[in-house]
Amino acid sequence: MIEWHARESAHASFRLCNCIRAAAACGQSNVATLTGIVTDQSGSAAPNAEVTITSQDTGIVVRSHSNTEGVYSFPSLLAGAYRVEFQVAGFKKKQVPVLRLETAQKMRLDVSLEVGDVQQVIDVQAATTPLQQETAEISETITAKDIESIPLNGQIPYALLALTPGVSAAGDDPSSLA
């Protein structure tokens, strides 16, 4: 009788742990979000701006338009490299030739359009990674190449988490990252 209760309790604990793991996994996402505001040189919103995003990995093209406040959003983009173009009648077309999005990233990209001939195109070259302004989270993508090329002390995969800014081990045990 006591063995049955202990065994049943162990099974209940196991099921509870699996439910917690499943709930945590639901919060993970394999898509990125790109959002921003399109304005003119004076800072006024550019409503109905056509925003075109092209995946450099797959060639898939997605179009959207800014709303009356100039806000646009692409909420479900796969991680990868993209070209982004902004266009409004009476303004020079602006493009960002290479924009890299990582898994679960929420990037904000605001642009200001210049008055001019529609045939003129302005390339925006980003020298640094855009500042993450949408959330206070810090994240890092560890690629398969990283995993293969970084020596793991004691073959503990949790040691890779220490590469992420803001993550540190509590004591000597790398599996107790905080």
Domain span at residue 45 reads: 31-123
As for how many domains the chain has, the answer is 2
* Residue 151 falls inside a structural domain: yes
Instruction: Give yes or no: residues 119 and 145 share one domain.
Output: no
DSSP assignments along 129-146, one per residue: PPP--S-S-------HHH
pLDDT at 28: 57
Residue range 118-172, pLDDT digits in tens: 555 555 555 445 555 666 666 667 777 777 777 766 666 666 666 676 666 666 5
What whole-number distance in Å separates Cα of residue 53 and Cα of residue 46?
18
Residue range 73-94, pLDDT digits in tens: 999 999 999 999 999 988 989 9
Give how far Cα 57 sits from Cα of 38, 86, 98, 100, Å. 25, 20, 11, 11
Instruction: Give yes or no: residues 73 and 41 share one domain.
Output: yes
Residue 51 belongs to domain with CATH number: 2.60.40.1120
Q: Is the pLDDT reported for residue 174 higher than 60?
A: no
* Residue 19 falls inside a structural domain: no
pLDDT at 150: 74
Do residues 65 and 72 lie in contact, with contact meaning Cβ atoms separated by under 8 Å?
A: yes
Q: Is the pLDDT reported for residue 176 higher than 60?
A: no
Residue range 8-66, pLDDT digits in tens: 544 444 454 444 444 444 455 678 999 999 999 999 999 999 999 999 999 999 999 99
pLDDT at 67: 96
Q: How does DSSP classify residue 158?
A: G
What whole-number distance in Å separates Cα of residue 136 and Cα of residue 53?
25
